[in-house]
Amino acid sequence: MNQSRPIPSKLFVLLALVFLTGACTKSEETGGLRGELDAGTFFYHCHTNADAQCDTDAKVSAADEVTGAFPPIAVGSLFGIEFEVDEGRGPADVVAASDDFLVATDGAFEAIKPGIVALVTHAAASRAIDLVHINLFEADALRISRGSTTTESVKDIEAGAKIDISGSDIEIDLNATVEVTTTTFLRAAPVTADGRVLAGSFETMWTSSDEDAVRIATSPTNNVVEIDSTPGTSATITVTMGELSATITIDTGA
């Protein structure tokens, strides 16, 4: 990922005009977003396997269904944006228009504070080629949901972690005890106060209060895990994503 660098003052005028008059359109063929100057396509990439954007059942998609933009991104998280320039326009880097909102770090962008910020592609002499706006929100809580399966498993895909489950993805009431009788997947995602799932990777860890009773069977650093349990036992499962955490009780019955 290219490092963030200052953008010439004339470019900010261009950004403001485009933001007021233009809008992204979803690229139906690629799942990416056409740039606001229509010079190429932007692609979102999960930085790690703990990004709800790469989880097919986390209620986010490649482009927000309401705004036609990338999904809202959690402040404090890491994510990647790549740009595929149209033929004949030459190579282009991607930089943040403001270091106040985004900084380049660890091969990705880190969201610093809430707001709307532009990512700009430019060529030699900082000539702007295209841009896209993204929305940054504070995460207020973690949403935990579950699903059961006997055939599918957690799989890796190019953009991050994916889970295929049979049946519905059911949100868990954090104050309730979850009864488990089959292999169960648990999914965590950062959400806003009004329940919107946010994209972006956080440092993530799942733990069990009693590994003999309820065990984390897959990587505890992903936002989706499979749990195995011993009949007639119970334990609490805690997930931490960045500064957020949530705990649920698992009961495997008699």
pLDDT at 140: 95
Residue 71 in contact with residue 60, Cβ under 8 Å?
A: yes
Binned at pLDDT 50, 70 and 90, residue 41 comes out as confident
Residue 221 vs residues 51, 66, 83: alpha-carbon distances, Å: 10, 31, 28
**Which among 92, 70, 88, 63 is positioned nearest to 136, based on CA atoms?**
70
How far is it, in rounded angstroms, from Cα 23 to Cα 30? 18
The encoded tokens of residue 222 equal 């992903």
Can you give the pTM of this predicted structure?
0.76
pLDDT winner (highest mean) among 8-17, 142-151, 162-171: 142-151
pLDDT at residue 138 is higher than 70: yes
pLDDT digits (tens, 9 = 90+) for 6-24: 434 333 333 333 333 333 3
How far is it, in rounded angstroms, from Cα 251 to Cα 254? 9
pLDDT at 239: 96
pLDDT digits (tens, 9 = 90+) for 63-89: 555 566 778 899 999 998 888 888 755
How far is it, in rounded angstroms, from Cα 19 to Cα 196? 23
Across 212-241, b (16+ Cβ under 10 Å) vs e yields ebbebbbeeebbbbbbebeeeebbebebbb
What 8-state DSSP symbol labels residue 51? B
Ordered structural domains, the chain, with CATH: 9-137 (no CATH), 141-251 (2.60.40)
Residue, of 5 and 138, whose pLDDT is higher: 138
pLDDT at 62: 52
pLDDT digits (tens, 9 = 90+) for 76-134: 999 988 888 887 555 567 889 999 999 998 779 999 999 999 999 877 656 778 989 99
